[in-house]
Structure 1
């Protein structure tokens, strides 16, 4: 039995000039929509993540409280639940699945809110990593609708440095002979393991490894045990084409790459009216605070709040660092109360 619902979108025309025939958007809701329809939190998924992997921030003891708010977690395209290379029939499945932008994702999420629930106001959009990318898109694409945003460990536009990191992940995945240019029948496990080890050097900070938090805090027996159990274990559970589809979405993420802003990144940032707290981590190798500072400088109602943590990209991430999650939860409470 699935714990989520699927909204049929029909044929979806994409920014890439392609389409997803009979597209599906999987989502899960938590809590109850009030009569005014103004207690809505949108909480998009992250790279490879599915809705249940967002649940570390949802709970009656947390800011994102289902007793008070109606929380919608839309699953990003290519994550294996919404339309993806792994679940779309020929000729659009597997290696032929079209490129989907963050803009495409958020347009369809907006359709879900409007057509299924009749929602016109959103109290908060928040998300981690690629969820933050979608959060920024919500603020820029629907400035009249979104009242607050809190993107954490993410950016409004993929930086050139971040793009290069993702090229390494892509190369590792596709170099496995079993990948067969995306037409595999068995997952390319060597490629997935190689991609996991590329990720391992970036997802956590140098100080994290120096202080051996993989052993002291996460309970692994050795560095190799951590690389196998934490990193390889994560990617071996995923589909390679799905990962590559989301990777493209990440690389070409840019809130100004659309007909609204026609590439003017500063104009797109300046159009975000939502009250915002932007929360990078000072040791995040993907999304350094300098990038967030530029974004906040051009947003009219935003505060930069740098997380002082050695957990890198995983500061406040899915269940890894309770201290950082508490810092994030406090910021969410403050923003929602404002």
Structure 2
């Protein structure tokens, strides 16, 4: 409230003052005994002095949680959430509520979080939220034909600059763990880092009940809406991506040819090769289920034990990296088991369902899916913009040989090969020397007329 009205003879000042929010619905989130979350809509909420008054039923699940934990979070629902709020109105997290009869249209959910896409993020202990913002799309059309509300997480750097570059997050990365080049190659650009669907920041299996398996087409479409409707961007100077972000860069060039001028693909490909596909199947198998039935195997908001780090540890670098004992000479670990344990622990707070969703999307990567004939090579031939492909000589996932084949079908393509022992990880930012070379390649490419 920015102003108050002086009392008139017809008004009486009361103490303490009452502040009514003026919004019809408040969403109250409480923690369940199993550390999941319950979300409930309510219309009776106002401030009386320094106390918040909540009109709750004595035996509601929210009340039970409040009495146990002595805390809650209140959020004001936006207009775009009307459909989701209405869906929540006839649900209950308490099996004992006598009024919640099936014949009256009520439903019981043990975990209310995620019902009809109103969610909370499963936040890792070391998660860095600095600068991260969210954009809601009330009715997003997935590639499968389903329409659902989705939330896109992003971070904007150098927003006053005119030329814009989009960076999709790669596999098992969050926004602030994605190399953004804003201190070097892209310091003269407005850089927008967008969280890939399924990474736990944007809408994902861990924060959205019954979340469909996303594909790269969904990521590009959601990001396009963010850029055009939220930022009012007319075109992109480039999409710069590493790994799964690099695959998205190819999709951008195929799906939005008049919107994106160029792409930088770092340790990525236009199609996931059969060998790459099989490596990913092995990763999925170690996590308790195949990538094909990801959504059926993993539960909402459960991190759980999984071996993602152990199985990706070797594939991320190279045999030469291990032969040189780089885990000891560069990273400072005394033994190989010590390094493997630390690497695996880096993923302990990642939700298994999110990781599997990303693995499956990676497997499905193929720009040929955008064509009726399914030819990814013809899809590459149709690209009219400039493409810089940066491959690592020792990348086990995306080989430089595959990149060379793809380059032959690009009208305006350029291939740079990194001579490195860091394998796929060479494009992640972990090796300073490799990143210096990558930055020079990007700067030179974007500086060309």
C-alpha deviation, 1:186, in angstroms = 4.5
C-alpha deviation, 1:32, in angstroms = 2.0
Q: Kindly report which structure 2 residues correspond to 1:100-179, keeping only aligned pairs within 5 A, or say none.
A: 100-174=214-288
Q: Does 1:84 align with 2:204?
A: yes
Q: What is the CA–CA distance in structure 2 between the aligned matches of 1:83 and 1:187, rounded to whole Å?
A: 16
1:103–1:255 CA contact under 8 A, matched in 2: no
2:207–2:301 CA contact under 8 A, matched in 1: no
Match of 1:22 among 140, 149, 174: 149
C-alpha deviation, 1:175, in angstroms = 5.7
Q: Kindly report which structure 2 residues correspond to 1:241-260, keeping only aligned pairs within 5 A, or say none.
A: 241-258=353-370
Q: What is the CA–CA distance in structure 2 between the aligned matches of 1:102 and 1:272, rounded to whole Å?
A: 17
Q: What is the CA–CA distance in structure 1 between the aligned matches of 2:214 and 2:302, rounded to whole Å?
A: 24
Q: Does 1:330 align with 2:443?
A: no
Secondary structure of residue in 2 paired with 1:72: strand
1:126–1:151 CA contact under 8 A, matched in 2: yes
Deviates more, 1:142-151 or 1:97-106: 142-151
C-alpha deviation, 1:188, in angstroms = 2.4
C-alpha deviation, 1:43, in angstroms = 0.7
Superposed CA deviations along residues 191-248 of structure 1, whole A, max 9, x for unmatched, are: x2x2322111211100000001111111112100110112x12221210001111111
User: Where does residue 159 of structure 2 map in the other structure?
Assistant: 32
Secondary structure of residue in 2 paired with 1:257: helix
Superposed CA deviations along residues 114-138 of structure 1, whole A, max 9, x for unmatched, are: 1112212211211110010111111
Q: What is the CA–CA distance in structure 1 between the aligned matches of 2:373 and 2:192, rounded to whole Å?
A: 29
Secondary structure of residue in 1 paired with 2:328: helix
1:11–1:22 CA contact under 8 A, matched in 2: yes
Q: What is the CA–CA distance in structure 2 between the aligned matches of 1:6 and 1:317, rounded to whole Å?
A: 24
Change (3 A) 1:17 1:282: same
1:173–1:188 CA contact under 8 A, matched in 2: no
Match of 2:169 among 45, 54, 74: 45
How many corresponding residue pairs? 316
2:300–2:353 CA contact under 8 A, matched in 1: no
Runs of 4+ deviating beyond 4 Å: none
Change (3 A) 1:246 1:180: closer
The structure with higher relative contact order (CA 8 Å, sep 6+) is 1
Q: What is the CA–CA distance in structure 1 between the aligned matches of 2:211 and 2:301, rounded to whole Å?
A: 16
Q: What is the CA–CA distance in structure 2 between the aligned matches of 1:138 and 1:206, rounded to whole Å?
A: 33
TM-score, normalising length: structure 1: 0.89
| RMSD of Structure 2 on Structure 1 (CA) | 1.9
Change (3 A) 1:246 1:151: same
Q: What is the CA–CA distance in structure 2 between the aligned matches of 1:107 and 1:142, rounded to whole Å?
A: 9
Q: Whose strand fraction is larger, Structure 1's or Structure 2's?
A: 2
Match of 1:187 among 291, 303, 316: 303
TM-score, normalising length: structure 2: 0.67
Match of 2:182 among 44, 47, 59: 59
User: Where does residue 340 of structure 2 map in the other structure?
Assistant: 227
C-alpha deviation, 1:261, in angstroms = 5.3
Structure 2 residue runs of 5 or longer lacking an equivalent are 1-128
User: Where does residue 285 of structure 1 map in the other structure?
Assistant: 396
Between structure 1 and structure 2, the one with the greater Rg is 2
Q: What is the CA–CA distance in structure 2 between the aligned matches of 1:171 and 1:77, rounded to whole Å?
A: 22
Match of 2:409 among 275, 288, 298: 298
1:25–1:77 CA contact under 8 A, matched in 2: yes
C-alpha deviation, 1:272, in angstroms = 1.7
Superposed CA deviations along residues 4-42 of structure 1, whole A, max 9, x for unmatched, are: 2211111222223434x21111111000244xx4x0011
Q: What is the CA–CA distance in structure 2 between the aligned matches of 1:157 and 1:108, rounded to whole Å?
A: 21
1:133–1:151 CA contact under 8 A, matched in 2: yes
Superposed CA deviations along residues 143-189 of structure 1, whole A, max 9, x for unmatched, are: 2222221111111111111111111111111169xx99323765321
2:215–2:361 CA contact under 8 A, matched in 1: yes
2:167–2:180 CA contact under 8 A, matched in 1: no
Q: What is the CA–CA distance in structure 2 between the aligned matches of 1:134 and 1:185, rounded to whole Å?
A: 26
2:157–2:182 CA contact under 8 A, matched in 1: no
